[in-house]
Structure 1
């Protein structure tokens, strides 16, 4: 059986970037604060990740506003709900990814689309409503083309692979952003699915790494446009970007640990 993810993992520069990120995660997991405060660190990482995910979409809210529950923007609230929902969907991700994505969209887009569209992929019957393009990726694929490629993505998730979790997570993330299968909150769903993949496929089982923060600090749209080109170089550049986002997310979480250690 072919292993396309393993092929991606062997593209120039990918294995080195992935290994550097893995070592950073391993070092984080040895931090002494995690012996007693792992759940609190995970909760803070999730909050920071949700904030960064909303900021990528253009809504940047300070952390203290989120902590006081004073952020009322629907996109921010959707990012927070999706972050909270990830903890309940982990065991389902491997066996029923369609169900998980539908649920993530339902909670992320609650105030952004009609009740009938929540959790439902685009069908082409939306009356000509333009699919948002906050990252300047160009027009979204048709609903039919998006559905076909989503089938291919689900097939990848079901196949055994020798590729590292970061490679799988990067492809899941990129496909969801590029295809925009739901037409609303797709970026929030994509980044949630990436983090869920890193958790469930073994890189970050305690969901400590604020990978979304890493994406917000890097040229995110540029890296996605490279992936969209479809060349080996473009795909490799995107995976390297995701590996760098993991490393930066580790740095963010280490800062959280250090702050807790200081009390």
Structure 2
């Protein structure tokens, strides 16, 4: 596995990736579109059921990306396969972790992995990095997540997702952790405070591009990061379109 050239940077240096050609304009346009979706539906009047539905749809999409064959109804009924049940476990606790993310990001990552992999791996390795190199990557990511607003929120969400998904710091279920972390960043950094977007569904809708751009991020250095960030803007737009708010408006 390749190691991106920016791994281990201090938090402010991650923001340099925002200056890559087309990244700022793509992410700014995406944020504007997200804000329009949330604003147009009157966010303050949104019922809690919409958040629950968004989390459920996200759990289903993330599980499918992780290899599950469960249907949405099976996930809704709690009778899906183990991967789907793991995704639901994460979704039920996810929003409670938001206030902890900026001050204790490694604690949040450990908890996400524990939820994702409980019953599937040795309890001794739950929430623990696979080795020194994995621990170092998580420490670097923790610096990004705990930095006080120095980097645009969508950039942080995309980088957090890609770092966990490609560095695979845990022994199993890294994809579930990566996608849950991405959603949590969007919530905790104010992009989507009520968790009404479904970024996981955006990735599922664009699955071939999702998987190829993760490989590019893993192996392609700065060019791969550039491709991933441009892809992420597209995926977040698709995630906004998958929101229960859009369905309610139809």
TM-score, with structure 1 as normaliser: 0.85
Computing the radius of gyration over CA atoms, which structure comes out larger, 1 or 2?
Answer: 1
Match of 1:239 in 2: 229
Indicate the SS of the match to 1:184: coil
Q: Identify if the C-alpha distance between structure 1 residues 15 and 62 changes in structure 2 by more than 3 Å, giving closer, same or farther.
A: same
Say whether residues 1:222 and 2:227 are aligned partners.
no
Q: Identify if the C-alpha distance between structure 1 residues 184 and 202 changes in structure 2 by more than 3 Å, giving closer, same or farther.
A: same
The gaps in structure 1 that reach 5 residues or longer are 123-142
Say whether residues 1:85 and 2:93 are aligned partners.
yes
RMSD (Å), alpha carbons: 1.8
Distance between the aligned counterparts of 1:206 and 1:5, measured in 2? 27
Q: Identify if the C-alpha distance between structure 1 residues 113 and 2 changes in structure 2 by more than 3 Å, giving closer, same or farther.
A: closer
Distance between the aligned counterparts of 1:239 and 1:121, measured in 2? 25
Match of 1:15 in 2: 24
1:147-193 per-residue CA deviation (whole Å, 9 max, x = no partner) reads 12222211222334542111111111111111111111111011111
1:15-94 to 2 correspondences below 5 Å: 15-32=24-41, 34-71=43-80, 73-94=81-102
Residue 30 of structure 1: how far off its partner (Å)? 1.7
Distance between the aligned counterparts of 1:92 and 1:79, measured in 2? 20
Alpha-carbon contact 1:227-1:238 (below 8 Å) kept: yes
Distance between the aligned counterparts of 2:247 and 2:192, measured in 1? 21
Indicate the SS of the match to 1:112: coil
1:98 is matched with which residue: 102, 106, 109? 106
1:44-68 per-residue CA deviation (whole Å, 9 max, x = no partner) reads 1111111111111111322122222
Distance between the aligned counterparts of 2:233 and 2:95, measured in 1? 22
Distance between the aligned counterparts of 1:193 and 1:206, measured in 2? 15
| Dislocated runs of 4+, deviation >6 Å | none
Indicate the SS of the match to 1:207: coil
Indicate the SS of the match to 1:166: helix
Q: Identify if the C-alpha distance between structure 1 residues 211 and 258 changes in structure 2 by more than 3 Å, giving closer, same or farther.
A: closer
Match of 1:110 in 2: 118
The gaps in structure 2 that reach 5 residues or longer are 1-9
Distance between the aligned counterparts of 1:223 and 1:258, measured in 2? 27
Distance between the aligned counterparts of 2:37 and 2:168, measured in 1? 33
Distance between the aligned counterparts of 1:117 and 1:156, measured in 2? 24
More helix, by proportion = 2
Indicate the SS of the match to 1:65: helix
Distance between the aligned counterparts of 2:11 and 2:181, measured in 1? 24
Q: Identify if the C-alpha distance between structure 1 residues 201 and 258 changes in structure 2 by more than 3 Å, giving closer, same or farther.
A: closer
